[in-house]
Amino acid sequence: MDFGIQNKNALVQGASSGLGYAAALELAQEGCRVAICSRDAKRIQKAAASISKMTGAKVQGFACDVTDASARQLMLEEIQNNWGSIDILVANNGGPSAGFYDSLSEEQWNQALLGNLMAMKDSAQEVLGGMRDQGWGRIVFITSVSVKQPIDSLILSNTARAGLTGYAKTLSAQVAEYGVTVNLVLPGIHDTERVKHLHSDLADPALIARDIPMKRLGQPAELAAVIAFLASTRASYITGQSVVVDGGLVKGLF
């Protein structure tokens, strides 16, 4: 299937490893020019070199904390000077700490809302002007199944990502007439560093996956394939949707 995004400019946040890295690799394989960022300069440059070597695509790596507005602006200016405006944004940031309502500080709440709501909102709005001008754009937010089925120990993530979902749904209606789609992908339990950290008490992956009907962890490439489809021309009539990729973990009908 031709996704029709060859030579499109994509920006993937949080892409030095895990789900972001997999999304960047998938888009590069589809022929996109891909800019990737993370806080760690050494790791993001290694990731960029790896993706470029595997795909032959043009890949730029940026050391950028997505919660830092000035750093995002400098990154966008360099991308635009080199390639032009962003066609595809995969907005992604690591999840906040686990904890319960009475164990979390005000600073932890502020950081969770900044990193998983406000920075994601700002990242989208910073690229929307170019998308509107050219009459085409794709924004995909990586959130979590917790917006469908809250996870007891992740009250920060549950709250911030639910807010982002409301924003994205509303935004999708406001920009649809300009050829811009806005969707969310909701990963379940995937084989990533964050999952291993959250489940560090369970050494056996089979124990982590015991509640998943498929009885295995998801692979980052499986989520990346959904992101690439949502970013494609083939998905031009899909917007405002929260797409669950979880091996059947979420029990709700909607």
d(CA 31, CA 56): 9
- Coil, strand or helix: which one is 218? strand
d(CA 35, CA 165): 24
Q: Check if the beta carbon of residue 102 is closer than 8 Å to that of residue 23.
A: no
Q: How far apart are CA 161 and CA 182, in angstroms?
A: 15
Q: What's the CATH code, domain 9-243?
A: 3.40.50.720
Name the pTM for this structure.
0.94
Q: Where do the structural domains in the chain lie, given as residue ranges? A: 9-243
Each residue's pLDDT, cut to its tens digit, for the chain (254 residues) gives 799 999 999 999 999 999 999 999 999 999 999 999 999 999 999 999 999 999 999 999 999 999 999 999 999 999 999 999 999 999 999 999 899 999 999 999 999 999 999 999 999 999 999 999 999 999 999 999 999 999 999 999 999 999 999 999 999 999 999 999 999 999 999 887 766 655 554 456 667 788 899 999 999 999 999 999 999 999 999 999 999 999 999 998 88
Q: At what angle do helices 119-134 and 69-82 cross, to 10 degrees?
A: 30
Secondary structure class of 252 (helix, strand, coil) = coil
Q: Are 13 and 91 in contact (CB under 8 A)?
A: yes
CA 17 to chain CA mean position, Å: 12
Question: What is the spatial distance between Cα 128 and Cα 226, in angstroms, rounded to a whole number?
Answer: 22
List beta partners, residue 9.
Answer: 33
> Where does 60-148 have alpha helices with state H?
69-82, 106-113, 119-134
